[in-house]
Chains A and B, each alone.
Chain A
Amino acid sequence: MIGDIQVDAQGRHRHFLTTEGLPAHTIIEILDTAESFISVGEREIKKVPLLRGKNIVNLFFEASTRTRTTFEIAGKRLSADVININTGVSATQKGESVIDTIRNLEAMHTDLFVIRHPQSGAADLIARSVPAHVHVVNAGDGRHAHPTQGLLDMFTIRRYKGAFAPLTVAIVGDVLHSRVARSQIHALTTLGAREVRVIGPRSLWPPVPEGLGVVPYTDMAKGLAGVDVIIVLRLQFERMNGALIPSASEYFSLYGLTPERLALASPEAIVMHPGPMNRGLEIASEVADGPQSVILPQVTNGIAVRMAILARLAGALPGETKPA
């Protein structure tokens, strides 16, 4: 069995692969650092020199606009040199293995890889194969984890709600296939949220919801009752072709977040969505654009949180090496 490799023997944060097992104080430190980076984006000159001279490669084996762009902006605001490579799955089609691709890029003196890959565990595999001075950030691996998204969502929740302990959070949709949900759930349970619910059709529940420490619901009205935070997940269109749900219209009729359903939650509830949204499928436009929606601030916050994580791994922050 191989264990967690995010933190080295000296307690330094080497890779950022999952929110599972991250101590609460580490998460809080990252959120605090991100808070200090928010102002950078609001200045005339949106740059700090923390990663000057460092090479970051955004290596995306799967399409992405938002995540890749915010990582690129985060790297550039830290003054790093950022290269984007979108290989799709073409590299594997050419017979070049993931590890070979990494080796080649390593030979070009990359300091930090930001990886997205369609297979669960890919970022972990890459982190195990790079030399000690190279860092890996998981920007989404299969259904497993999307930890920077998870933390930017924690950042957003904290900005609007303050403390985590009194919060009931509902995650609505396809949790089975969602790396975002897994990363949010681990972070929320670590930060001590009172209750985390997942709401969706039984066929899209994770196999053992209790194993994640969440309470599953199939009934939207019961699941949303009194919640403080609603996170709506994107429903992938390809799920429609399987036998998991019958149709888009039936899904929306049961699980679409409408103003009427939103009214069942706490009046101060916020609505989040990791994007990109399918309006009229999982969320009604009135809700997405309504006063309780914090979906666009999530994107803005994503840059600051990703800056905090990149700077932390590269060792550019003072006092971030508190042992676990």
Chain B
Amino acid sequence: MNIVITGGRVIDPAHNEDQVRPIAIQDGSLLGSPIPRGFSADVTLDAAGLIVSPGLIDLRARLREPGLEHKATVASETRAALAGGITTLCCPPDTTPPIDTPAIAEWLRARAEGALGARVLPIGALTRGLKGAHLADMHALHEAGCAGVGNAGMGVSDTGVMRHALAYAAGLDLLVFLTPEDPWLGERGVMHEGLVSTRLGLPGVPTSAETIAISRDLILVEETGVRAHFCGLSTAAGAALIADAKRRGLPVTADCAIHQLHLSEDDIGFFDSEYRVRPPLRTRADRDALREAFAEGTIDALCSDHQPHEADAKKAPFSDAEPGIAGLETLLPLALRLTEAGVPLARALAGLTSGPGGILRLLAGGLVPGQPADLCLFDPAAPWVPGPDTLKTQGRNSPFCGAPMRGRVVATIKDGRIAYRAAWARETPV
């Protein structure tokens, strides 16, 4: 099928493009600009007033399959991802069983293909069973379609094992996803150790839980030369360590969960478990520093860190409530909200497209003629309120439920097919 999108403002941060132009898709692939003579469209999408960007890439989204199907499924969450403008997402290996064999990785990819949702790139386990003792079959996992390897939130406390794992991955030129949390300092805490934890009497996770882990791993990255991606920075001090490593030329990148750029420990109020996340929400100074680190490029990518839960998972005393926010569909509007804090629109979108695309070495992070067409069409001004009636994810756990948002996806095109079209926008253009 041939599609032409007319009148949209095309923003492609990978190629510094920001202009109104038509985009043509022939048999699933993007055509170059100008559109060649003789192209005829079967479908015309009127995108006047809309922004057309590459399909969003989310480096961290839990789909809960296999193992936790009562929370969500590959089908429910990959379709929710499309509704959020996300065409590619990475799924961490901490499923049950973990993604530590090619069979699980292949099963997950097949499941995602059948669901007709966003493309799923599993992250393979760095160690067998995520136990931090034996290396996983990293090459086989890579062959099975894994975007890289990592130990999710389980940490590898044995530095000897970590050093071997990173060296081994470096030898295969694999991308390693590192989740920086010192297990000895991080495991027992449920929120940032500071003023609010003092007040509420909740066990805290000190800033040093993050900086110690980053410091150790950076030394090992320097020693092994492995391509390392640091997941979910939460502290100003952690971002400063990454900035320094980049200045020294180490092959490192970093991301930040989008909620870390908007929320702080103060938002927990009186034990609101919707704000229980890992790593925890830090101080307002940390939040502001992370925004700055993103704006200047120390943080390469923004991700949803999507963690859908059943309602009961949050109906417990704060420490017993499960951590995480269901964030697929608020990723884009929350990234757009950064423009209110002075982040240029193109930079905000880069965090969702060329940033993560570059980390994964995917061409899909930008608009490249001849490549499969993955596009996100959104109305940057459309107001909406996340809630049970508007969200597609099976998880309704979000502190942003009920909070007015600006910016909403109108249509998502994946592999040249209109994979999602918003019901709310059918009356309006497109």
Contacts and interface: CB of A to CB of B under 8 A. Distances in A.
A144 B267 contact: no
Nearest to A186: B199
Contacts of B164: none
B101 interface: no
A207 B318 contact: no
A142 B201 contact: yes
Contacts of B382: none
Interface string B137-175: 000000000000000000000000000000000000000
A100 B201 CA distance: 25
Given A125-B315, A211-B194, 4 more contacts: A120-B317, A145-B201, A207-B193, A212-B199
B314 to A, nearest CB: 10
A120 B199 contact: no
Interface in B236-295: 266-273, 275
Interface of B: 193-195, 197-204, 206, 266-273, 275, 312, 315-320, 399
Interface string A1-22: 1111100000000000000100
B269 A206 contact: no
A144 B198 contact: no
A2 B269 contact: yes
B202 A2 contact: no
- Report which residue of A2, A98, A117 has the largest number of chain B beta carbons within 10 angstroms of its beta carbon: A2
A124 interface: yes
Interface string A218-236: 0000000000000000000
Contact of B319 (A3, A120, A124): A120
A211 B320 contact: no
B199 A20 contact: yes
B320 to A, nearest CB: 6
A97 B318 contact: no
B271 A121 contact: yes
Interface of A: 1-5, 20, 97-99, 117, 119-122, 124-125, 129, 141-145, 179, 182, 206-209, 211-212
B271 A207 contact: no
Contacts of A99: 315-316
Contacts of A119: 317-320
B315 A97 contact: yes
Interface of B, helix, strand, loop or mixed by DSSP: loop
A125 B312 contact: no
- Determine which residue in B199, B269, B275, B315 has the highest number of CB atoms from chain A within 10 A of its CB, and name it: B199
B195 A1 contact: no
Contact of B202 (A3, A20, A117, A121): A121
A144 B202 contact: yes
Closest 8 CB pairs of A and B: A121-B271, A143-B201, A144-B201, A119-B317, A1-B269, A211-B195, A122-B317, A121-B318
Contacts, number: 85
B197 A207 contact: yes
Contacts of A125: 271, 273, 315-318
A3 B204 CA distance: 21
12 contacts: A2-B269, A120-B201, A120-B318, A121-B200, A121-B318, A124-B270, A144-B201, A182-B201, A206-B198, A207-B198, A209-B198, A212-B199
A182 B199 CA distance: 8
Nearest to B202: A120
A121 B194 contact: no
A119 B195 CA distance: 19
Nearest to A121: B271
A238 B319 CA distance: 19
Given A121-B202, A207-B193, A142 B317 contact: yes
Contact of B198 (A98, A141, A179, A208): A208
B315 A121 contact: no
B312 A211 contact: no
A144 B270 CA distance: 11
Contact of A5 (B266, B270, B315): B270
B124 to A, nearest CB: 34
Nearest to A179: B201
B167 to A, nearest CB: 32
A317 B167 CA distance: 72
A273 B110 CA distance: 64
Contacts of B273: 125
A291 B315 CA distance: 49
B420 to A, nearest CB: 32
A208 B198 CA distance: 6
A20 B194 CA distance: 17
A142 to B, nearest CB: 6
A142 B197 CA distance: 12
Contact of A2 (B194, B270, B319): B270
